[in-house]
Amino acid sequence: MSTMPAGHGHSEACCNIPPVVSTGYDAKGSYGEVDELKTYVTGPDDASRGIVVIYDIFGYFDQTIQGADILATSDAHQKYKVVIPDWFEGSPVPIDMYPPNTPEKQKFLGDFFGKHSPQSVAAKLPGFVKSLGAKYPSVKSWGVLGFCWGGKVVSLVTSGESNPFSVAGEAHPAMVDPKDAEGIKVPLIMLASGEEPEDKVKAFEETLKVPKHVEIFKDQIHGWMAARSDLSDARVKDEYTRGYETVLGFFSKNWS
């Protein structure tokens, strides 16, 4: 399951995760517009902290939306305004394009990443957070959580000169590069699956100079906390829930 100590990622009895729905999830939030981007928004209007979720390449999926709702209200001590901007403007990768096991799929994904690079989104995030501040003035500071492709975005923005976030998380991150960890400026949690290169995950952890929690969920696939999560599988459902509990515990303990 885990290859690294888990204790420092948890906060004592901080979380009350609602029952996770395997199919037909009924979203608790709604869609609006922030900085000219369609954005899913959930959580109380008077929240003093907010979380920007960077989805994976498959965009808005029930598993990811449910995760945002979990983040918004499951911490007994701190509620969050949670937003998921639609960086792909309605054109995510169809989930049947993964895995990229044909030349056609590989070309499609290559073209997609050329249009939507993590670097390009990381560069837009400081301005997006500024717009969030104007729209939700009760929120005094923002955290960020990225899945897969979004994990790389998190590494880039939190190591950049204009980082707008107070705490950060990555779940089953793509393109793990220990060099990114050198410049990360805020507490960071990384929950890797068994499919990320373990040597790079461990090197990333060793390079981080900030409060951290790095854990490998060895029996979970790349995507188990987002679009590729098969919540009809009891084990996946349990680890999906534990993943969100661990993120919330780390955020609660390390928000600066």
* Domain residue spans of the chain: 7-254
Q: What is the mean pLDDT of residues 66-79?
A: 96
- Phi first, then psi: give them for residue 113, nearest 5 degrees: -70, -30
* pLDDT exceeds cutoff 50 at 249: yes
* Domain spanning 7-254, CATH architecture: 3-Layer(aba) Sandwich (3.40)
More reliable by pLDDT, 11 or 193: 193
- Looking at every residue in the chain, the average pLDDT score rounds to 94
Query: Hey, what are 63's tokens?
Result: 């598993």
**4: pLDDT confidence band, cut at 50, 70 and 90?**
very low
Give pLDDT tens digits for 222-246: 999 999 999 999 999 999 999 999 9
Given this model, what pLDDT does residue 5 score?
Answer: 38
pLDDT at position 2 over 60: no
Confidence at 122, pLDDT banded by 50, 70, 90: very high
In this prediction the pTM is: 0.94
Q: Is residue 185 pLDDT above 80, yes or no?
A: yes
